[in-house]
Chains A and B, each alone.
Chain A
Amino acid sequence: MGSDLDRQIETLLECKIITEAEVKELCLKAREILVEESNVQRVDAPVTVCGDIHGQFHDLKKLFEVGGECPKTNYLFMGDFVDRGHHSVETFLLLLALKVRYPDRITLIRGNHESRQITKVYGFYDECFQKFGSANVWRYCCEIFDYLSLSAIIDDRIFCVHGGLSPSINTIDQIRTIDRMQEVPHNGAMCDLLWSDPDPDACTGWGLSPRGAGFLFGESVAKPFLHNNGLELIARAHQLVMEGYKLMFDDTVVTVWSAPNYCYRCGNVAAILEIDSNLTKNYTIFTDSDRNSTNSRMNPQREGPPDYFL
């Protein structure tokens, strides 16, 4: 079993897919681990926190070069592993395999794209169908998405969530009471955690989000939340940042974005947040992998850019 998993990791590291039967097996093993995790998963520093990946496999490999290989470096990925990029399948399966192999060295929390409804629109469903000939792998992955934690907390001081805060949530303990093992609802606390954005213009504290889900929250909401929960920082992802990371609200909220040259055309850099055992924070920037330009030529399964990718 152990050597099978190692072999699968080797295959995925070469950006090659494993079989549908192997995916099913991997998901079963992952479920056993994830079901034990809390809605607010406790993580010990040192750890490297990462934002959206969106199927940009070769840039994920670059991230591992820059941040150090897993499990030598501990990692926390804040969701949005799939959709848009060319290799959502390989990206998610690699991270899942690493989670099964080294469960205490890598933490995966859910992003708004880890959802049946969203992946049908933004590319992951189509990619699964193209690479495996049916929707089975997509279904197995969506079931795993339901088991992913909603958030993480590093040494009780740094709160990590994909989107942001919710008007229904004042304390970390309230998050623990959510029934998370379901498709991301269209509204409510669980939806807000994955969809909200910090907004310096949200003067009255909360505003409806232009995204059509979640809320905009201002400094007058973020600071009391941090204070009431004994936190020093909220780390989140969810929004493209040209400079890779962006601090807001007197450095109490940070957006970390880990997909360089997003969609292979935005020209942004990516970032990771390295937190050492003293909770000292270090932001490392990286650019896209050189392999992206040659990648589509080398992939014989597709002619030209895929339909789901604009």
Chain B
Amino acid sequence: MSSDSVLQNHHQHREGITTLSHDWTMVKAGTLVEKQTLVTIDAETTVEDACEVLLRGGITSAPVYDSAKQVYVGMFDYGDLMTYILLLLKKMEVPLQDQTMEMRDLIQRTNKSQTVPVKLASDLSGKDPFCTVLPETRLGAVVHDFGTGIHRVAVMDAEGTMKGILSQSSTLDYLMRHLSEYPQLQPIMQKSLQQCGLTNGRVLSVNGEEKVLDALISMSTHSVSSLAVLDDQGMLLGNISMTDIKHIMKNLRTSWLWISCFQLVCKIRLSHGVESGEDQYPILDVNSKSTFGYTLSKLQATKAHRMWVVNDSGCAVGVVSLTDVFRVLSGLIDS
């Protein structure tokens, strides 16, 4: 980049701050990923090694870069990994006409038990396609995307240089940290979950005794990223989410796919507690009478991607996911 364009960008950046500082929808996507260390995966890396990259980086997704073609070919995330595992185990039937060429190639390879390069597995789940925005794109537009179920966008400049990944989680964290600067967000924070229309959701669940593999198939079938794990009385025991797949990948040989969902919840809690030195409550939930603001604070504090909504008896009556949060926030912009 020439020094002129750098100066121009910098000038624009400063202009943005002085004239539009109190409107959260005008914040530029680029500013939110400024200090990020980007992790990318080479397209030829095996799926197993790509998973290692996610695990070690403590991230849930990474862009896949084809160094031969000098271009980004997609994102690899745990949803794709889950689809890969299901294909590998021949548990998923995809009709021939729905298969893209790459998926066909992938399936052929799994049939021959060859190792699979991650370029064939990226964007495999069909959800969360590789979505890019410019550094100048305003948060209002990004939040609209988040509200439709896109979990993250890649911030890429006009030259194709990757600046960083902007996720639903990091955007929520930014908004909560700067809440006092955006008084227009105050009214919605005080509203109850019911007033925001967030307590009428169906709770997709699995019984604690069901096998993990069946839960994964259910998640894939319903196109959701998590399921509530319930006991026989419908009480919440915990949840299984797509990011838990990373534990399964680590242990593919010890067949965690065939343990019960409750057992997986326990193993993950045990592991998390030792690694962080502090045990977490097994269930991350809010009461149905809680405010929107409290729910967001808890999502931010626990770094969870969803809060189960429970009634006074502890039964799950709904769920507030990050997608739901951004749908509500993007609704503010339209009105």
- A residues near B, CB below 8 A? 84, 112-113, 117-118, 121-123, 186, 195, 197, 207-213, 238-241, 262-263, 265-266, 307-310
B284 at the interface (CB under 8 A from A): yes
Among A186, A211, A266, contact of B278 (Cβ-Cβ < 8 Å) = A211
Number of CB contacts from chain A to chain B under 8 A: 70
Contacts of A308 in B (CB 8 A): 266, 270
Residue of B nearest to A123 (CB): B270
Expressed in whole angstroms, the minimum distance between the Cβ of A214 and any Cβ of chain B is: 9
Among B263, B266, B280, B314, contact of A212 (Cβ-Cβ < 8 Å) = B280
Contacts of B269 in A (CB 8 A): 121-122
A121 CA to B266 CA in the complex, in Å? 5
A265 CA to B270 CA in the complex, in Å? 13
Beyond A121-B269, A308-B270, 15 additional contacts (C-beta under 8 Å) are A121-B265, A122-B273, A195-B281, A197-B278, A208-B300, A209-B302, A210-B280, A211-B279, A211-B302, A238-B278, A239-B277, A241-B277, A263-B274, A265-B274, A266-B274
> With A84-B270, A308-B270 in contact, do A118 and B282 touch (Cβ < 8 Å)?
yes
Residue of B nearest to A238 (CB): B278
Among A213, A239, A241, contact of B281 (Cβ-Cβ < 8 Å) = A213
Contacts of A84 in B (CB 8 A): 270, 273
B195 at the interface (CB under 8 A from A): no
Contact A211 B281 (CB under 8 A): yes
Contact B282 A208 (CB under 8 A): no
Contacts of A122 in B (CB 8 A): 266, 269-270, 273, 279
> With A212-B302, A263-B274, A266-B274 in contact, do A310 and B279 touch (Cβ < 8 Å)?
no
Contacts of A241 in B (CB 8 A): 277
Contact A211 B280 (CB under 8 A): yes
A83 CA to B285 CA in the complex, in Å? 23
Contacts of B238 in A (CB 8 A): 121
Expressed in whole angstroms, the minimum distance between the Cβ of A256 and any Cβ of chain B is: 14
Contacts of B303 in A (CB 8 A): 210
A38 CA to B269 CA in the complex, in Å? 33
A195 CA to B280 CA in the complex, in Å? 9
Q: Which of A197, A211, A239, A263 is most buried by chain B, counting CB atoms within 10 A of its CB?
A: A211
